[in-house]
Amino acid sequence: MIATAQRAWWPLAVPLAVILAMVLVAVMMVSPLPPGTTLVLTAQVLMALLAFVHRPVWLLASLTVGQLTSANYMVALGGLEVSTKLVWTVAAPVLLLPLVARFGLDLGPRAGRLIAPMVIFFALTMLSNAIYTDPGYTFKYFRYTAFWLVTVFLFPILAREERDIKLLSVVVLIAGTISGVLAVIQHYSLWAWRFAIAPTFGEDFGHRVFGLAEAPPQLTWGLAPIVVALIGVFFLSGIRGIKAWCMVVSGLAMSLGMYFSYTRTAPYAVAAGGLAMGLFFAGRLRREFLLALLLAGAGFWWYTDMQGNRYDNTSFTEDRSGATRMVFWQAGLNIVKDNPVLGMGHRDYEKTSVEYENTISAGYLAAFEAGQSLGTAPVHNDFLNIWLSFGTPAFLLFLLLFGAVFWNFIEAFRRADSPFLKGLSLGGAGAVAAYAVNAFLHNIMDSSAVFFILAGLSLALTRLAWKTPEKGHNAG
């Protein structure tokens, strides 16, 4: 049975960290898997075990670290290959019932406006898939939606106190920092590529780095929300001294890692998250923060223009990657026009998009021969993917979910009495904005549960914030 420990545990942190590090090194030495994959999978197992002997929130730490790194890694079990995504998809619902039996199902005062549209949204995804795909695929996608819903439930159930949130934050920050540091090293040393996660190891991404993620874009999807949340905590939590310097070093490591991934959505995502937070600062702090954000953005674009690297190509007509998105998106929008109510199901965009080639602008098809990519990849836009797959009602519900998660964070920020919870809540709102930017140009939801992790965290924070009366609406 999962147990909670009431005694102070931090005096044992250093020797326990040494023991865990020795276990990780030993496993990496004997494992046939790539070192980075071994590191991530072993860390997840150890954290899951800690949930049973220390604090249940370690289960959230294991789940979150996995989704930010090796969410889709295939593990060989005998003659079968099982993805880590499937392991979590099966394990999370199985664990939910005993956890609810032990801790109850107190999801907080703002759960209704999030859970209700989410359940309806998932029901529409099942209906659309049942009509337009086959039973096997409908069940497969249902497994994923069940996992996402359980993930949202687990956060307020297991993160019951502020120290739970702090422990989870520290673990995620450490994982993000390690991934960022490895990404920087990978940029300068071929040796560090041994730590790339196996599914895309050896794939030609040029000079783009992975860190502990599965590909350069995945590195950004995970690190951008962490960096934005870290900024919120740094400015509002009142942390000083060595802890503040550690946060600065960690933020720089992750930022450099994202930079060397050369994922062009990264600066937009961080900027959007910073802007979303800055608007809720008060008075002088808001002006100074937004000015610093503007200067940082100007400096970034000046530097990339001078370097002439991948970030300098910001137009959709300047390279093949941008040009193919225009082709994919126009095909997707035309599919929506023909299937506005329930979409066409989630499975067949690639095959169906080829049938719409004649409806796409000839200029888009010709640019960098982007038309040749039609039918070979997803639509590269989560919002459009949901719209064409499940229809307009599901699309509107998805937008409502984004708004509900964002506003949960804002309300937690306004009501929280603890400086740490206040900073993390505002950082969480910024992280949602950062995620939205990445999701507009990628298919994140099919690869990881980052959005649902943010949704669950928003419930946990509102639950804690409502324990104290509302103090004010601004940070200063």
Same structural domain for residues 147 and 191?
yes
Same structural domain for residues 413 and 305?
yes
Same structural domain for residues 166 and 218?
yes
pLDDT tens for the chain, 476 residues long, are 444 444 444 455 556 666 666 666 666 566 666 677 777 888 888 888 888 888 899 999 999 998 888 777 766 655 666 677 777 778 888 888 788 878 878 888 888 889 999 999 999 999 999 999 999 999 999 988 999 999 999 999 999 899 999 999 999 999 999 999 988 988 887 666 666 654 444 445 557 888 888 888 889 999 999 999 999 999 888 788 888 899 999 999 999 999 999 888 899 999 999 999 999 988 888 888 889 888 988 888 888 777 767 776 665 566 777 788 889 999 999 999 999 999 999 999 999 999 998 898 888 888 877 788 888 889 999 999 999 999 999 999 999 999 999 999 999 999 998 999 999 999 999 999 999 999 999 888 888 889 999 999 999 999 999 876 544 445 55
Domain count, the chain: 2
Is residue 11 included in any domain, yes or no?
A: no
Same structural domain for residues 376 and 405?
no
Is residue 9 included in any domain, yes or no?
A: no
Same structural domain for residues 399 and 443?
yes
CA dist 87 and 120 (Å) reads: 25
Same structural domain for residues 352 and 289?
no
Is residue 70 included in any domain, yes or no?
A: yes
Same structural domain for residues 48 and 73?
yes
Output the pTM of the full model: 0.89
Is residue 470 included in any domain, yes or no?
A: no
Is residue 2 included in any domain, yes or no?
A: no
Same structural domain for residues 36 and 91?
yes
Domain containing 367 equals 313-390
Alpha helices in 3-134 (DSSP H): 13-30, 35-53, 57-68, 84-103, 112-132
Of the three residues 368, 390, 412, the one that is the final residue of a domain is: 390
Of the three residues 336, 359, 390, the one that is the final residue of a domain is: 390
Of the three residues 375, 390, 405, the one that is the final residue of a domain is: 390
Is residue 6 included in any domain, yes or no?
A: no
Same structural domain for residues 377 and 446?
no
Is residue 156 included in any domain, yes or no?
A: yes
CA dist 225 and 274 (Å) reads: 10
Is residue 270 included in any domain, yes or no?
A: yes
Same structural domain for residues 443 and 366?
no
Write phi, then psi, for 380 (nearest 5 degrees): 60, 45
DSSP per position, 186-243? HHH-GGGGGGS-GGGTT---TT---TTSSSHHHHHHHHHHHHHHHHHHHHHS---THH
